[in-house]
Every structure is written in C-alpha cells, then in structure tokens.
Amino acid sequence: MTQSKVQQDRLDKLAKIRELGVDPYGQKFEGQGAAVAVRAKFEAIDPKLPVGEKTTDSVRVAGRIMLYRDIGKLIFMTHHDASGKIQVALSKRELAEKDWNLGRLLDLGDLIGVDGPMGLTKTGELTVWGRSLTLLAKSLVPPPEKWHGLTDVELRYRQRYVDLFANPDVAAVFKKRSAIIDHFRRYLADRGFLEVETPMMQAQYGGAAAKPFTTHHNALDIDLFMRISPELYLKRLLVGGLERVFEINRNFRNEGISTRHNPEFTMMELYQAYGDYEDMMSLTENLVATAAEAVCGSTKLPFGNTELDFAPPWRRATYAELLREYAEVDMFDMPAVRAAAKARGIEEAKLADEVVINNLFEATVEPHLVGPIFVKDYPAALCPLTRRDPKDPRLALRFEAYVARMEIANAYTELNDPAVQEANFRQQLKGQEETMAVMDEDFVNALQHGMPPAGGLGIGIDRVIMLLTNSASIRDVILFPLMRPEAKGEVRTEKDEANA
C-alpha cells in the first residue's frame, strides 16, 4: 500500500464526515490548553468521585488525538493540547447518533473538541466523558509511530511541525527557551535597560570577525549585508544618551554549520554606560544562574555526561594564566609561544604574533574550559573594539565566558577613544581571514561626539539554551535550523524570478 492509499482512506472518511453534515475543518472552539485546567477543576470539585459517577459540571477540551482505543460501544482517546494530555471517552449510549458516527470516523492526529462531565475510570484515570463532539480539523496524514515518535533527525528538522506534536520533549525545550528569554528581558528591564532594535541589513558590517551574507536593495540599487553583529549600532545609542540598552535578535554569519553553529543565531547584546567588563561578568553569571533557577529549578544542571553548576561566582582566570597552565608558556615570550605552537603542529611562520597566541590558546586551553569560567584580559591586538588595560597596554579589557567548551559570552570594557578606534580599524593582522578591524567612519565620528565609558556584553542565546536544556546540538534549540532544500519539488530561486 502506498502513502496515497493510506491518505485515500482518510479522504474517504473526510467524504463520509461531510455526508454526516459535519464541516471537517471546524471553527472557533473554547477549551484550548484545558488539559491541565480540567485536572485542577476535578481536584477542586471532588477528587474521590466514585467510579461510574460523573461531575455535574461540564468541561471543554480542544486538541489532538494521539491514541485511539475503540472497544465497541465505547471509545477512549488520549487527547493532547498545549498544556498536556487527558483521556477523553465517547460512549454510544450517551452520544447523539450523529456524534457517535463521527467518533467512529476519527483518526489519530485529528483535532477535536469535546464537551462533557468528568469522571474516574476503574483504574483511576481522569476522563472527560463526551456529551458532544466537534471535529476541528481532519488530519490526512498518519502521524509518526506512537511508541518511538519521530526519531529521524532530518525529518524532525524539516517537518518540525510533526516533531513538535509527536515528541513532547521537543515542545518542552522550546517552552523553556521562551521562558529563559523572557527571564532575560525582565531581568534587564528591572535594571533600567531599554530594549531596542537596530538594523539587520547594513551597508557596512562590523562588530565581529565573520563572513557576511550579502543581499541587494533594488530601489536604491545597493548591496547590503545581513548583520554579523549589532555592536556598532548599539554603541551609537550610548553616544545618543540611551545609557542602558539591549537587543535580542538574529545575527547572520556565512560560515560552517555544526552542532554549535547555525548561520542565523540569536544574540543578546547589551551596553551599560559608565560600567566596565567587571560589571559584565557579574551580570553574565547572575543572568544565567537566575534563569537556571527560575526555569529549570536549580543552578546545578546535567549536560551530557557532566553536571554544570551555574551558581556565582564563576571562576575568573586571565588568558595568560590559562596559557601558562595548559600550554606551559609565557604569553609575552614570543619565541617560546612560537616554539610551543610549532611543537604541536600549529602553523605559525607566516602569522602575526597575536594570531599564533590565539591559535595556541584554542588548541591547548579551550578543550579544558568546562567551566563556567571567565577568560579575561586578551592580547590587545585581537580586540580592536576594546579598551586597553591602562596598567598593561598589551592587554585588552575583554572576557569570554566558556561553559562546556563553548563560548557563550563575549564582553568588553568598551573603547571610547576615537583616535585609538580609528587606528585599530586600520591595523590588520597577518593570518586572520576575517577581522573586526573594518573601517567604519561614521562610527568613529560618533565616538568623536563622546561615548561614555561603558561595559558591553554579548550572550549567545542559543548556546545558553542548549546548556540549560541539556541539548547536544544547536539544532535542537532552533525551531527551523538551516537545511539544504530538498531536491524534489520545485524550489523557487532567484534565477526563476529572473526568468519569470
């Protein structure tokens, strides 16, 4: 039998339903999200109601049939809505003939509404005993297997709509995602931060070292870049006198895809005038720890084979200390750094000092950063947007937060000296394919008007969600991760548009 035969069976039922005079794609129906409310209501009325008796009050539920057990003149269904599941029963004796006939034509996956009293079965299962049945939408495609759900990862990502209703754990992750972001927003709003939106399409990109996506605006006939970072726009707002701002929005980077990288990802960036990167450290650890506590119930959470503890304070270690610890070299002793890199097979001959240091750091230190840990005081040349350490100008007042070997946050004491900023924009390091140092004259002009000293912070939201939901892949926390379009079927491309 082919899929079309299975679907034909459902189409036949659709026709029979119409013959009953029923619209198989129903209308407004009260009762959404009632599964949990029904349980609460039953507890409140009479949790010890004897088997066989029913409440005098009726309840309404609307949702999807996930299990269907027809035992003759009685049908039991496991009914899911956004709040959870509840058993619904239809009895031939208690239903109008039309509703009973409709009940016999239901399939797994159909969306129904039911109205009726509550009662317990002899196994103690709370059940809504349908007195009326409303078909809200006929499902024409059989849902995934009821024990295993949908496990094929490709299908799960391509048909997330199926994944979400077939695998309750998946929906739970995205509910947590929403709650965590909501927590961040309120935490910042409570501390006087203003949420703003800055351009996602930019004539000039900057604020990070990454390859951009390009696009074109027809009316102006100009190329635009999808932003790789909102940083330079948010800092312009500091110049404008908005002293505390944040933005939660997408960045786009035209790079590889992995379990930790999606080409579009959600970044939360914030800037606090008159602060510094120490403030950003305490903000970072408190944001994440309070989110863990509020949404997941604890600051200690499992992640893969380990347990992470987000309770502040997180360890703070300097870049130089960690290089000494794991690569056993002095960061400022370049012959030693180059020798250490060479010994590990890391290319170094043609690269700038700071690039070699960074490559050595990634090879030797990063694999150990289970954390949570703040890595602070980076080599200055790697940080063209960061203020130098006044006590040691070789260092920049920057930190990155690492958890489970993932960079989850990046923060600076912001550079607000326009002359230094302009010089930094002109400095290019050998061996860096991409650089943050891209001249932005208007940004320099903004600094010339005077930007308050400030702390700035970027948090990779998707990665934080991964950590707090024990998700191994970034694709498990992004509803529709980027996939290559399926070959079959017509995909409309730019070329088609031109030919049309």
Partner RNA sequence: GGGGGCGUAGCUCAGCCUGGUAGAGCAACUGACUUUUAAUCAGUAGGUCUUGGGUUCGAAUCCCAACGCCCUCACCA
Subset of 166-225 contacting RNA (CB under 7 A): 208-210
245 near 238, Cβ under 8 Å? yes
73-102 footprint of RNA as x/- string (CB under 7 A): xx-x-x--------x-x-xxx---------
Output the smallest distance, CB 305 to RNA, in A. Answer: 13
Output the smallest distance, CB 429 to RNA, in A. Answer: 8
Q: Which of 41, 46, 68, 318 binds RNA (CB under 7 A)?
A: 68
Phi/psi zone of residue 110: left (φ > 0), alpha (ψ -120 to 50 degrees), beta?
Answer: beta
Decide if residue 277 touches RNA (CB under 7 A): no
CA distance 53 to 31: 23
452 near 237, Cβ under 8 Å? no
Q: Which of 69, 175, 300, 315 binds RNA (CB under 7 A)?
A: 69
CA distance 206 to 414: 15
Q: Which of 64, 227, 463, 475 binds RNA (CB under 7 A)?
A: 475
Output the smallest distance, CB 52 to RNA, in A. Answer: 5
Helix axes 461-469, 168-190, angle to 10 degrees: 120
Which stretches does DSSP call E strand in 288-390? 300-303, 306-309, 315-318, 373-379, 388-389
* CA distances from residue 393 to 380, 397, 416, 484 in whole angstroms, order as listed: 7, 10, 15, 46
Q: Which of 259, 298, 428, 445 binds RNA (CB under 7 A)?
A: 259
**Window 31-50: residues binding RNA (CB under 7 A):** none
Cβ distance to RNA smaller for residue 296 or 385: 385
Q: Which of 79, 253, 387, 463 binds RNA (CB under 7 A)?
A: 253
Q: Which of 121, 139, 204, 299 binds RNA (CB under 7 A)?
A: 121
Residue 84 burial by CB count (10 A; 0-12/13-18/19+): exposed, middle or buried?
Answer: middle
Total number of residues that touch RNA (CB under 7 A): 77
**Window 393-452: residues binding RNA (CB under 7 A):** 398, 410, 432-434, 436
Q: Which of 23, 30, 43, 145 binds RNA (CB under 7 A)?
A: 145
Decide if residue 303 touches RNA (CB under 7 A): no
Output the smallest distance, CB 241 to RNA, in A. Answer: 28
Cβ distance to RNA smaller for residue 212 or 372: 212
Cβ distance to RNA smaller for residue 83 or 286: 83
Q: What is the CA radius of gyration of the chain?
A: 29
Q: Is 176 strand, coil or helix?
A: helix
CA 231 to chain CA centroid, nearest Å? 20
Of 40-48, 55-63, 122-130, 441-449, the segment contacting RNA by CB under 7 A is: 122-130
Query: Which residue's structure tokens are 């509703």?
Result: 99
